[in-house]
Amino acid sequence: MPNSQDTLLRFLLPTAGVRGAIVHLDHAWQAIVEHRHYPEVAAALLGEAAAAAALFAGHVKVDGRLSIQLRSTGALATLFAECTAKGGLRGIVRLRDGAHHVPSDLRQLGHDALLAITIENPPLRGDEPMRYQGLVGLQSSRLDAAFETYFAHSEQLPTRLLLACDGTRAAGLLLQKLPGSGGDEDGFQRVSALFDTLDREELLALPPAETVHRLFHEELPELLGEKPMRFACSCSRERVEAMLVALGPEEAQAAVAAGNGQAQVTCEFCGQRYHFDADQVATLFHQAERSLPGPPSVQ
């Protein structure tokens, strides 16, 4: 693919007192949807969410993973996009049974629709993972506008965000005023006006560094380094085994019977198939029983 980019680029506009990040997803985005067939609007929303997850993970302190999740009781049951600190991306959309149309206006997803950003960092000294979640209001028609409002309210810093996805590529551009008094008085307003000259088609078409140069060259941008982005799924046979054990022996054996002697579990994110015959399922539960702690002894 010409100008193929799977890159996150962070930059600084020092005179204006503004920090930024821009991401392009080509092959990484295509891998996310390779095994799925989504309606056009659902795919575009997932692409925008994946770009947003990459931007936010590069923007805030994330040592583990950052996810974006949208739930509603309408046609779009669940949208999930995740980016790890190492640039691994995955995502999925689940539609209600029989749903074929997803509204492009987020406000039409229903009054109970919920959009959340979750950060999960590794535990310290063997404790539980550190988890932070922020809820995003859906008073805006688009994801980028909803997130702009969220950051303005949660971090109380002026923020601009543009997200785009055309089916083969996804991209995003984030600008945020630096905390404190850095930059000149009208710096954010000035670069925000430049931001408004960029449309979604240009954001998708141009490599990240070229977009930054075209928009902000008069601000003498400082490029802070690129990070490669890639599709990465965290599924494994061990995790699937744990899921089967959690189902219980009756349901696991029923899955074996339904599969003509083999239970098949397919990862929704990457399409990897895991197979377990009756003996393997029985061994799983035998090992699980042996690993359970015994009853406390009488002292």
Report pLDDT digits (tens) over 53-112.
999 998 877 888 999 999 998 889 999 999 999 999 999 999 988 777 888 899 998 888
Determine the residue type at 191.
V
Task: Assess contact for 151 and 134: CB atoms under 8 A.
Answer: no
How many other CB atoms are found less than 10 A from the CB of residue 231?
21
Q: What is the mean pLDDT of the chain?
A: 86
Task: Assess contact for 55 and 23: CB atoms under 8 A.
Answer: yes
Query: Would you state the structure tokens that stand for residue 56, as one six-digit string?
Result: 């936010």
User: Is the pLDDT score of 234 beyond 70?
Assistant: yes
Q: Determine the Cα–Cα distance for residues 29 and 144; give it in Å rounded to an integer.
A: 18
Q: Determine the Cα–Cα distance for residues 236 and 230; give it in Å rounded to an integer.
A: 18
Q: Determine the Cα–Cα distance for residues 12 and 175; give it in Å rounded to an integer.
A: 9
